Amino acid sequence: MKILVTGGTGYIGSHTVVELQAKGFEVVIVDNLSNSSSDIVEKISEISGIIPKLEIFDLTNKDLVADFFSRNNDIVGIIHFAAYKAVGESVNKPLLYYRNNIESLINVMEGMQTNGIENIVFSSSCTVYGQPDVLPVNEQAPIKIAESPYGNTKQISEEIIQDTVKSSNINAIALRYFNPIGAHETALIGELPLGVPNNLMPFITQTAIGIRKCLSVFGDDYPTPDGTAIRDYIHVVDLAKAHVIAIDRMISKNMKDDLEIFNLGTGNGYSVLEVINSFERVSGLKLNYQIVGRREGDIIQVWADPTYSNEELGWKAEMGIDEMTNSAWNWEQFLSKKK
Ligand code: UD1
């Protein structure tokens, strides 16, 4: 069964391709390589033994998308990762984010309608909840006004999907990710941030390996036990596995609604200092960090209530914080040996 994975050479996409292949799915990747590289397909095949097909083009190009679907109308499902994801950049370049993230989704869904493809899994984010009033946050929590254009593209995309499933044969599952970190156990694929990382985990590992001098911890005056902000970090392989279950659920017609929404988190919140402690524990290193002011736009704390995903999908995040930080560290060390 053929699955289209858009953004399949990216961080979460590449791990998902590996898990799909392990379950016997045939994968075709579409990616414009704006934040990844084509040699990821070889790394994927080193893990799985199968080279996924890769087509390099931009999903905002309607004609190319239509042409792709006309050649691939045997696709049974789509996992749509392709999107820009840097919160700060989206504040400075909102139109870039709206055009890229929204137009590509519309083109993909039009292609589905034209070619009778019924199933799409969409990469959403816990950012849609903003700072939730109740923790842990479940899927019924209200959507808050987006804190960034990036976050808004996720909200708008969910709305576009909701409207489209009502008026067509398309079924959708939106997966709301908490904070994905870590890398594949083979250290052949992982996160490859361009330039200075925005996210915590790659900044920690790059500081430890000597690429960055010092990690800035953004704020220690939050109303949390140690004063630093709390997130629900989830291992990228656990996250990837949920996508395979979701696509399988759609193909097997086990959905309870035309659009289903699931939180993908562990249910455990860790503070920035707890993540640093875990990293120091597994690596045996002392991390150079300093406390600085809060980062604009950051929320205080969020962690998932994963009960609905656990019960409905029969999925549960398995890896703990030390396994996550350890795999991120292995990956950074592997990257440094390559250079
Ligand atoms: C954000 C988005 C999330 C998005 C993700 C992808 C929100 C609420 N969340 O996650 O939707 O998918 O980016 O980029 O908008 N930190 C430091 N020092 C650093 C970097 C981070 O202390 O150098 C802290 C942050 O203040 C935060 C935590 O580490 O408390 C995690 O930050 P980060 O990894 O950037 O993820 P989020 O901001 O939670």
pLDDT for res 202: 98
Q: Which of 75, 94, 76, 73 lies closest to 84 in space, CA to CA? A: 94
Pocket test for ligand 1, best of 85, 144, 198 (most atoms within 8 A of CB): 198
Checking if the pLDDT of 62 tops 80, the result is yes
pLDDT digits (tens, 9 = 90+) for 328-337: 999 999 999 8
Q: Whose CA is nearest to atom 11 of ligand 1?
A: 127
pLDDT, averaged across the chain = 97
Q: Ligand 1: list residues with CB < 6 Å.
A: 85-87, 125, 127, 147, 151, 179, 198-200, 203, 215-218, 229, 231, 272, 295, 298-299
Separation of CA 179 and ligand 1 centre (Å): 8
Q: Which of 193, 264, 273, 260 lies closest to 230 in space, CA to CA? A: 273
Which atom of ligand 1 is found nearest the CA of 181?
A: 34
Residues acting as catalytic residues: 150
Which atom of ligand 1 is found nearest the CA of 147?
A: 15
38-53 mean pLDDT = 97
pLDDT for res 339: 66
Q: Whose CA is nearest to atom 34 of ligand 1?
A: 199
Alpha helices for 167-263 (secondary structure H):
200-209, 236-251
Phi, psi dihedrals of residue 205, rounded to the nearest 5° = -70, -35
Q: Whose CA is nearest to atom 38 of ligand 1?
A: 298
Q: Whose CA is nearest to atom 30 of ligand 1?
A: 229
Per cent of the chain over pLDDT 70 is: 100
- Exposure string of 174-212, with b = 16+ CB inside 10 Å and e = fewer, is bbbbbbbbbbbeebbbbbbeeeebeebbbbbbbbbeeeb
Domains of the chain in start order, with CATH, are 2-181+234-264 (3.40.50.720), 200-231+267-331 (3.90.25.10)
pLDDT for res 217: 98
When pLDDT is cut at 50, 70 and 90, the band that residue 48 belongs to is: very high
251-278 mean pLDDT = 98
Which atom of ligand 1 is found nearest the CA of 148?
A: 15
Strand ranges in 144-205 using DSSP code E only, listed in sequence order: 171-177, 179-181
Distance CA 256, CA 84 (A): 30
Separation of CA 11 and ligand 1 centre (Å): 16
Tokens encoding 217:
């911890």
Which atom of ligand 1 is found nearest the CA of 130?
A: 8
214-224 mean pLDDT = 98
When pLDDT is cut at 50, 70 and 90, the band that residue 296 belongs to is: confident
Pocket test for ligand 1, best of 124, 272, 325 (most atoms within 8 A of CB): 272
Q: Whose CA is nearest to atom 26 of ligand 1?
A: 218
Separation of CA 50 and ligand 1 centre (Å): 34
Separation of CA 3 and ligand 1 centre (Å): 30
Tokens encoding 324:
């996550």
Q: Whose CA is nearest to atom 22 of ligand 1?
A: 217
Checking if the pLDDT of 61 tops 70, the result is yes
pTM value? 0.97
CA dihedral over 307, 311, 312, 318, signed as positive or negative: positive
Tokens encoding 239:
């996250």
Separation of CA 262 and ligand 1 centre (Å): 20
Which atom of ligand 1 is found nearest the CA of 217?
A: 22
Cβ-proximal residues to 113 (8 Å cutoff; 6+ apart), any chain? 164, 168, 170
Separation of CA 272 and ligand 1 centre (Å): 10
pLDDT digits (tens, 9 = 90+) for 75-117: 999 999 999 999 989 999 999 999 999 999 999 999 999 999 9
Checking if the pLDDT of 297 tops 90, the result is no
Checking if the pLDDT of 44 tops 80, the result is yes
Distance CA 105, CA 291 (A): 39
190-210 mean pLDDT = 95
